[in-house]
Amino acid sequence: MSDIQASIIQKNPIFNPQGNDNIDKRTIIKGNTTGLFNLNSVKYPWAKSLYQVMVGNFWLPEKVSGLKDDQRDFMNVLTADEQRAYKGILSFLIFLDSIQTVNLPNFSDYITSPEVNLILSIQAYQEAIHSQSYATILESVVSPEDRDEIYYFWRTDSILLERNKYIGQIYQNFVDTPNDANFFRGVVANFLLESLYFYNGFAFFDTLVDHMKMPATGRMIAYIRRDELTHVTIFANIIKEIKREFPDVFNENVIIEMTKVAVDQEIVWSKHILGNKIPGINAETTEGYTRWLANQRLSMLGMAPIFPDAISNPYKHLDRLQDPNADKGNFFETTVINYTQSSNMAGSWDF
């Protein structure tokens, strides 16, 4: 038997009468569960905590006001370079959330913990909401002629196409050949997508807001970012559980290699789409921010930094805009907290 055949992992059966749902038998992957969602018996308490946060974060893009004002900003206030960046970054974000919505169930099929399956289902729903939020932005802000250009920007932009193909191929490799190595690379790709690939785009929209431009788009991005932080945490925990329970599947070298590729791609793409003509963002800050953020994400996995010189976030305005302990009147704090509609549900999964 070949190594690939030996390492093939099996999808969870829909119903497995011979399964064992006892906590002491439960594992993050390769378990033998019945298929029943017994959520009164939980092995991974972090999944319960994330469930409560994710349900409490419920929001709808149609409830975000002010996009018509952003339309005026887009036409009359943004420079040509800012307009190009706005459209190109939206195109990449649309791709990321599209591929996540479609692909998350493929990974959930191999997770053998019902509490983790549950939050992956919520994540997939949130990714679909994000796709709808981008559609809402496009419908409200840009002309109909620009919409298809934004959705299919990768058809004419070779750098964006290569980015999309890279992450898409990792996912496709796992779907086509579901072995241990491809599964782990796919999980790491999920982690990096959620934790690195979005964030220079987010920084661009935050910087526009800091310059009093496109505030409604900034509000939408704030809600999306809040969701993405929970998604980062999901996959960080999955990776740590794999390391603990299946050290033969865990591969730190793969994480380092893929992180370096992700950082290089993010820097090249960000420089390409942002140029050096966006106030508040330049090539130096893009590189410093991306490498600093990569170190922060690796620390979530208990790993040492791979960019030792990147010790601080060069975008101080991001700290101010995103700091929940900052002035309660600041843009992101008030809009995000005031929007939450389902805080009364946060403790509904209570064992």
The predicted model gives 116-135 an average pLDDT of 97
How far, in Å, CA of 96 to CA of 350, rounded?
33
What digits encode the pLDDT tens for the residues 47-67?
999 999 999 999 999 999 999
Which range (9-13, 253-257, 290-294) has the least confidence? 9-13
Asked whether residue 222 is domain-assigned, the answer is yes
Read off the CATH number of the domain in which 168 is found.
Answer: 1.10.620.20
Evaluate whether residue 45 is within a structural domain: no
Q: Write out pLDDT tens, residues 148-178.
A: 999 999 999 999 999 999 999 999 999 999 9
Q: Is residue 78 part of a domain?
A: yes
Does 134 qualify as catalytic in the annotation? yes
User: Tokens standing for 213?
Assistant: 């431009």
Torsion of the alpha carbons at 146, 148, 149 and 150, rounded to the nearest 10: 90
Domain presence at residue 60: no
Query: Which domain does 195 fall in, by range?
Result: 66-339
Return the HEC string of the chain.
CCHHHHCECCCCCCCCCCCCCCHHHCCCECCCCCCCCCCCCCCCHHHHHHHHHHHHCCCCHHHCCCHHHHHHHHHHCCCHHHHHHHHHHHHHHHHHHHHHHHHHHHHHCCECCHHHHHHHHHHHHHHHHHHHHHHHHHHHHCCHHHHHHHHCHHHCCHHHHHHHHHHHHHHHHHHHCCEHHHHHHHHHHHHHHHHHHCHHHHHHHHHHHHCCCCHHHHHHHHHHHHHHHHHHHHHHHHHHHHHHHCCCCCCHHHHHHHHHHHHHHHHHHHHHHHCCCCCCCCHHHHHHHHHHHHHHHHHHCCCCCCCCCCCCCCCHHHHHHHCCCCCCCCHHHHHHHHHCCCHHHCCCCCC
* pLDDT of res. 55: 95
Catalytic residue among 44, 51, 86, 134: 134
Residues written for the chain:
351
**How far, in Å, CA of 242 to CA of 239, rounded?**
5
**How large is the average pLDDT for residues 312-339?**
54
Tally of domains within the chain: 1
Asked whether residue 12 is assigned to any structural domain, the reply reads no
Distance CA 177, CA 1 (A): 15
**Is there a domain that residue 70 lies in?**
yes
The alpha carbon torsion through 27, 28, 29, 34 (nearest 10 deg) reads 60
159, exposed or middle or buried, with CB in 10 Å at 0-12, 13-18, 19+?
A: middle
pLDDT at 291 over 60: yes
Look-up: residue for tokens 């939408």? 220
- Is there a domain that residue 103 lies in? yes
Q: Is residue 58 part of a domain?
A: no
Q: Is the pTM higher than 0.85?
A: yes
In the block, tokens 């992101």 appear at: 332
For range 35-40, the mean pLDDT:
90
